[in-house]
Amino acid sequence: QKEVEQNSGPLSVPEGAIASLNCTYSDRGSQSFFWYRQYSGKSPELIMSIYSNGDKEDGRFTAQLNKASQYVSLLIRDSQPSDSATYLCAVRDNSGYALNFGKGTSLLVTP
């Protein structure tokens, strides 16, 4: 069973702070990693993809990958109330194109 684990939260951070979202995965053969944002009642929206160890930055978002520890994280700098949503970690292995999704972490940014 290929597991993708996330803390369900809610994670509450004040506006302007850094939000740190974490994800672990069980399949060591996993190659591709994605973060999606899902607002209540809406479909997921791709935020970041990361394929190699290290950091990848895109605007206020930074994805971090550590394959040895089977750990991927998402940092959101200068958090805004509009960032309040559920963040889904998704992992793709070598067996196909399907993604394994975590259950998501609920983030609440308070003004």
* Positions that interact with other proteins (CB under 8 A): 31-32, 34, 36, 42-46, 49, 88, 90, 92, 96-99, 101-104
Instruction: Name, in order, each residue with C-beta under 8 angstroms of 111's C-beta and a sequence gap of 6 or more.
Output: 15, 81
- 95, amino acid identity: S
- Give the Å distances, CA to CA, from 57 to 27, 39, 42: 25, 22, 25
The minimum distance between CB 73 and other proteins, in angstroms, equals 19
Q: How far is the CB of 87 from other proteins (least distance, A)?
A: 12
The CB-of-15 to other proteins minimum distance in angstroms stands at 25
73, 82, 37, 43: CA torsion to nearest 10: 170
Instruction: Considering the complex, state which of residue 44 and residue 109 has its C-beta at the smaller distance from other proteins.
Output: 44
Q: Give the residue with the Cβ less far from other proteins, 15 or 95.
A: 95
